[in-house]
Amino acid sequence: MTSAANEVFAPAKINLTLHVTGQRADCYHLLDSLVMFADVGDRVTVAHADQMSLAVTGPMAAGVPDDARNLCWKAAQAFGAPVAITLDKHLPAAAGIGGGSSDAAAVLRGMEQLFGRPSGVDALSLGADVPVCMVAHAARMSGIGEEVLPLFMEPLSAILVNPGVEVATPDVFRALDRRDNPPMTPWPEGGGTPAALAWLAEQRNDLQPPAITVQPVIAEVLQALADLPDARLVRMSGSGATCFALFDSGTPTEAMVNDLRSAFPQWWVAGTILS
């Protein structure tokens, strides 16, 4: 035992690209994705306890399960020790930004510190996004999520927008036309942000067109982001509905965030730095 309680940040996971390159015989999809992490996210606290418990608090708590259906609970069970978990929810759920996966990874990291031992948990068994969320900084994710290659990338300024509609990932995969799309082209070593932005523009999120058919409001979000001055790239993350706009490093985004919140008061809008 190394401490009584541990608070861990669970950052939003943003798929800057998401190529669906195949499907295995067991139906799992093969992916090729460049993932970065935001400085907005949930907060998970784990504390020693005689039995498992979970309290979900915060501005985005509504509708998030507070029992064994929650990935936080599953992660703690996989670790194999009872803990009292508090999940302070700031990210929209079912939003393509890995809320549950990042929370699960945070529980594992927090419990490793709390109990002073490695978790020994196969992160993939908790979900395809959990291995990359264990790394929690820029990485290329491939296979069915188990291959994670950390990348050096300069931080990127971004605005994230979620229109407040939940999107179920299976619905989007069902609406996907082709599962054998090309992987990402080779990552440009060196060249900094300009090269990264140019390369990103040539890549895709293969789930974006099917997600728009499932939730047409995603097209409105993408248009609102594309209309922002100086937006260099606009795309959807994961299976949606959260979309992002990228800017040159150091572009001040606060005024744009405030304008979007005024124009679309029902949308969740966050300015962030991705790393």
The reply, when asked if residue 95 is annotated as ligand binding, is yes
For 165, the 3-state DSSP assignment is: coil
102 is in an annotated binding site: yes
Q: Is 72 among the residues that bind ligand ATP (CB under 6 A)?
A: yes
Judge whether 53 is annotated as a binding position.
Answer: no
CB of 167 to ligand ATP, least distance (A): 7
Report the nearest approach of ligand ATP to the CB of residue 63 (Å): 7
Q: Which residue is nearest to ligand ATP (CB)?
A: 100
Q: C-beta of 65: minimal distance to ligand ATP in Å?
A: 5
Question: Annotation-wise, does 97 bind a ligand?
Answer: yes
Q: Which of 32, 88, 103, 129 is catalytic?
A: 129
Burial class (CB in 10 A: 0-12, 13-18, 19+), 129: buried
Among 88, 103, 112, 206, binds ligand ATP (CB under 6 A): 103
62 belongs to an annotated ligand binding site: no
Tell me whether residue 119 or residue 251 sits nearer to ligand ATP (CB atom): 119
Q: Determine, following the binding rule CB under 6 A, whether residue 98 of this chain makes contact with ligand ATP.
A: yes
Taking the complex as a whole, how short is the minimal distance between the CB of residue 117 and ligand ATP, in angstroms?
23
Q: Return the closest-CA partner of residue 91 out of 13, 145, 144.
A: 13
CB contact set of 93 (below 8 Å; sequence gap of 6+)? 60, 63, 64, 99, 100, 166
Consult the annotation and say whether 92 binds a ligand.
yes
72 or 108, CB closer to ligand ATP? Answer: 72
Is the CB of 103 or the CB of 206 nearer to ligand ATP? 103
Given the structure tokens 């523009």, which residue do they identify?
Answer: 201
Question: Dihedral angle at the C-alpha atoms of 124, 172, 12, 125, nearest 10 degrees?
Answer: -10
Distance of alpha carbon 102 from alpha carbon 93, whole angstroms:
11
Residue 218 within binding range of ligand ATP, rule CB under 6 A = no
3-state secondary structure 47-85: EECCCCEEEEECCCCCCCCCCCCCHHHHHHHHHCCCEEE
**150, β-bridge pairs:** 139
Told to judge if 129 belongs to the known catalytic residues of this protein, a careful annotator would answer yes
Q: Is 95 in the site for ligand ATP (CB under 6 A)?
A: yes
Six-digit token string for 123 = 């992160």
Please tell me which residue in 13, 32, 42, 103 is annotated as part of the active site.
13
Crossing angle of the two packed helices 99-115 and 71-79, in degrees rounded to 10: 30
Q: Is 214 in the site for ligand ATP (CB under 6 A)?
A: no
Distance separating alpha carbons of residues 115 and 219, to the nearest angstrom: 46
* Interface with ligand ATP, residue 131, by CB under 6 A: no
Residues in contact with ligand ATP by CB under 6 A are 64-65, 69-72, 87, 93-101, 103, 129, 166, 169, 238-239
Active site residues: 13, 129
Query: Residues comprising the binding site for ATP?
Result: 92-102
